Chains A and B, each alone.
Chain A
Amino acid sequence: MKISGKTVMGAMLLTLLSAGAAAAASQFPPGWGGGSHWPKDYDFGAVPVEGAHDKAAYIRAHANAAHNGYFIMTQCIDAESSRGQRLRLSGRLRTVSASAGQLWMQVYRGRFALTSDMMYDRQLKGSSDWQRREIVLNVPADSTRVCYGFLLNGGEGEVWADDLVIEKVGFTVPTTTTFIGPVINWGGGLYSLSHGGLGRMDDR
């Protein structure tokens, strides 16, 4: 995104405003939802930050957050137009003293994950500058939904995400699936989308 001087000034002002707002009440960026077992342990939102194009989304754990917890940011789309194809989710992540920052994507049939990559083997730990990560999954012919996003796993520090891209790729691009059988439904299992668009995902 091209940034004019005016936009930068606007962005700086937004930073100040957003920083204040974030402390008061976390808000999901438009089109996004998510949650946690311990939602009060986290702040989240989207604000301008150095190295981001305009705004980036963040999840930040409070100092006393449960270490076996996580906070996930989620978006789901209808799988219909992607069935039989291979999708790549890519995005840039950065972390600050984080237990683990991860991109994630799962493909579902109804309530059940058909394939999954939570990026456990490519986590960003501690503090790291912006890094590109990607996930590649097949979308089986009977899929109903594709969900993706990023998460802070382990309740420490913060993770930032920007410039996510979902695109179809050729079958020469290897998948990163870690699916070996029934898996936990992260995209939803337990978490409603806060913007209310989809209702509770665990039942759908």
Chain B
Amino acid sequence: MMRRLAIAALLVLAGPAAADVGLPRGWNFSGISWQDYEFGTDSVAGASSKAAYIKARPEIRTDGFGGMIQCIKAENYLGKRLRFSARMRSVAASSGQLWMRVDGPRTEQGGAAPVTLGFYNMGDNPIRGNTDWKRYDVVLDAPDNSVTICYGFFLAGGKGEVWADNLNLEAVGKDVPVSRSMVMPKGPVNLGFDR
């Protein structure tokens, strides 16, 4: 149940457009290709009451992703380690992913560019194919200069459906490891394309 989300300060970004596309209250859509996806909530076996879904439409026009996003102010979480968790299932899914991002202040030079202080989106280990309900976690630190925390889940690749239920955001101890993707290479590789 989405309402169970333990959220102190909700920044409701969702305007009327969000409701129009079937999003649950308090959620907005993310991804440039959200028109290629169907959003909603429904009763489904294994869910507590209703669960949220993202389904790829049959006629996918782009290569992007469609997702549900919610952003909150970071002020109640400064200095804490946060775990965003959900139970998820998938049906013939190309790539279902739970994610969270911690943004810092906007840059002095760029104006419009907040610093990304933490991010993880299961990009290295997405949910594919048919999977039964299973719990997934994203753990990030919210340093003292955090400004906004955004999180949600998305379906990338335009195939199948992904469901999420019992989403929860909570502070956890520092003994819980932070989620990390594979590390970016330090230097260029295979610039001659010979490998």
Contacts and interface: CB of A to CB of B under 8 A. Distances in A.
B186 A196 contact: no
B121 interface: yes
A182 B111 contact: yes
Interface string A179-204: 00010000001111000111110011
Interface centre among B65, B187, B189, B192 (most CB of A within 10 A): B192
A75 B183 CA distance: 13
A157 interface: no
B98 to A, nearest CB: 12
A17 interface: no
B195 A78 contact: no
A31 interface: yes
A46 interface: yes
B140 interface: no
B63 A35 contact: yes
A163 B191 contact: yes
A19 B184 CA distance: 31
A110 B115 contact: yes
Nearest to B62: A37
A199 B181 contact: yes
Interface of B: 32, 62-65, 97, 99, 101, 107, 109-116, 119, 121-124, 156, 181-195
Q: List the 10 shortest-distance A-B pairs measured between CB atoms, nearest first.
A: A199-B123, A110-B116, A112-B113, A164-B191, A31-B189, A54-B194, A31-B190, A57-B193, A46-B193, A78-B184
